[in-house]
């Protein structure tokens, strides 16, 4: 054999990766949507606020996705993709502008008054949990807001109330 030429692969040599053909990029927007819908449904049914699930949830998710015609993906791939989707969601929410209307401000004040009743109040301001709870409350009412945005808005609104 001349130098620089590669030998032809033999029929007896097999690699471990050849045994399980996994597409290098199986993710499509449709698959992402199906994965997100399934896991959001699980979160709603279990009344879970976390984005972390056990392996059995991803196993069931994989079976549901296969039944819908998507490729059979392992738990690890589904979990990693879910983490990436969550990371992207968090980045989008963090950079999004809050939509402050009179109604949103009223909901913010309502949430913070409730927080004061729960003793989530320090000497001169609310504790951070109060703003987190207020942001969740606003989100449940259809308004986009992070806890940092809720705090900044409260500081501005409270100065107007003084």
Instruction: Write the pLDDT tens digit of every residue in 69-78.
Output: 999 999 899 9
Would you say residue 24 has pLDDT above 70? no
Is the pTM higher than 0.85? The answer reads no
Q: Give residue 38's pLDDT band: very low, low, confident or very high (50, 70, 90).
A: very high
pLDDT cut 90: percent of the chain above it: 21
pLDDT, one tens digit per residue, over 132-158 is 889 999 988 888 888 888 898 988 887
Alpha-carbon radius of gyration of the chain: 25
pLDDT, one tens digit per residue, over 46-90 is 877 778 889 999 999 999 999 999 999 998 999 999 899 888 877
Mean pLDDT of the residues in the chain: 79
Would you say residue 10 has pLDDT above 50? no
Ordered by start, the domain boundaries in the chain are: 24-95, 102-161
For residue 31, give every residue at least 6 positions away whose Cβ sits within 8 Å of its Cβ, in sequence order, or none: 65, 70
Distance CA(14)–CA(139), nearest Å, equals 53
Q: Is the dihedral of CA 24, 26, 27, 32 positive or negative?
A: negative
């Amino acid at each position: 054999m001349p130098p620089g030429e590669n030998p032809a692969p033999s029929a007896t040599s097999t690699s471990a990766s050849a045994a399980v053909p996994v597409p290098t990029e199986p993710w499509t927007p449709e698959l992402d949507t199906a994965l997100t819908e399934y896991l959001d449904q699980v979160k709603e049914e279990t009344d879970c606020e976390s984005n972390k699930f056990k392996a059995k949830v991803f196993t069931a998710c994989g079976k549901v996705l296969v039944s819908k015609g998507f490729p059979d993906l392992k738990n690890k791939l589904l979990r990693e993709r879910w983490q990436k989707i969550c990371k992207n969601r968090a980045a989008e929410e963090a950079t999004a502008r809050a939509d402050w209307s009179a109604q949103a401000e009223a909901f913010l004040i309502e949430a913070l008054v409730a927080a004061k009743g729960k003793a989530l109040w320090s000497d001169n301001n609310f504790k951070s949990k109060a703003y987190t709870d207020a942001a969740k409350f606003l989100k449940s009412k259809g308004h986009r807001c992070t806890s940092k945005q809720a705090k900044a808005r409260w500081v501005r609104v409270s100065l107007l109330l003084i």
